[in-house]
Amino acid sequence: MTMAAGLAVAAALLWVYLRTRSAPRSTRFAWIGLILVGCAVGCFVAAPWLEARPVVERLGWGILAAATGLAHACAFNLVPLPHNRTRLRMILVPLGMWAGGAGSFAILTQHQHPWMDLVALALALPVAAAWACVPFLARAPTHVQMGATPVPALRFCCPRCGTVVDWGRGVWPCTDCGLFLKIDVPADAHSASSKPDDPAGAVHLHCPACHAPRIATRGRSVCAQCQATLSLHWNMHR
């Protein structure tokens, strides 16, 4: 395991953290992960000039293993899951973090405890299986079920927690934090537009009419491509 490989893994983890740190539910994990990645990079950069190079490089890899568990938590927290599968996060997020911790312990102790290797492998296998299933679980549906009635779906990030959710038109809750949104397509004639420069009152989505990417503000907004109207309403209670 060379320094170049360690820096490549660190760069991949850095990309994950920078992509997920803006979501409120992943911010703390992302900042902790960025600190760990910085420490690991410091180990790899300093190792060639130190007498104890193998020890320092092993320390860097141990830190990266723990950071990988946190990166899994940041990313899986935001994966769009069907309404009846959201409880998977309660199982798979801790499993990934425990797998990273067990892998870190195994690396730092130079695999002197074979049982710890088995623990890390047992924890990592279901996490790897879950990520293999993500393309199927996270497939964007055209409709979601409201009782026995299929409702047209619209996918975008929850304004409160940052999780990607498939919202149904009408009144619909976030699958994870429970924030209720009211979505009207076309827009309610009585909806007022919010300020375009208000970051807390805007979401990124694809237009339900022409599917072009756009920013929809809280209240009434118009697609620049097809002029279709959309209204979004929610209340942010702290």
DSSP state of 84: G
Write out the chain's pLDDT in tens, 238 residues. 577 888 899 999 999 999 888 888 888 889 999 999 999 999 999 888 888 888 888 999 999 999 999 999 998 888 888 777 788 888 888 888 999 998 898 888 887 888 888 888 888 898 888 889 888 888 877 777 777 778 888 888 888 888 888 888 888 888 888 888 888 887 766 555 544 444 456 788 888 888 888 888 888 888 888 888 888 888 765 5
Number of Cβ atoms within 10 Å of the Cβ of 49: 8
Using CB atoms within 10 A of its CB, is residue 67 exposed (0-12), middle (13-18) or buried (19+)? buried
d(CA 56, CA 97): 23
Residue 159 · residue 234 · CB < 8 Å? yes
DSSP annotation string for 110-148: TT--HHHHHHHHHHHHHHHHHHHHHHHHTPPPSEEEETT
**CA-only gyration radius of the chain, Å:** 22
What is the amino acid identity at position 157?
C
What is this structure's pTM? 0.78
d(CA 12, CA 229): 39
Residue 101 · residue 184 · CB < 8 Å? no
Residue 233 · residue 218 · CB < 8 Å? yes
Q: Which two tokens stand for residue 42?
A: 């410091």
Residue 114 · residue 89 · CB < 8 Å? no
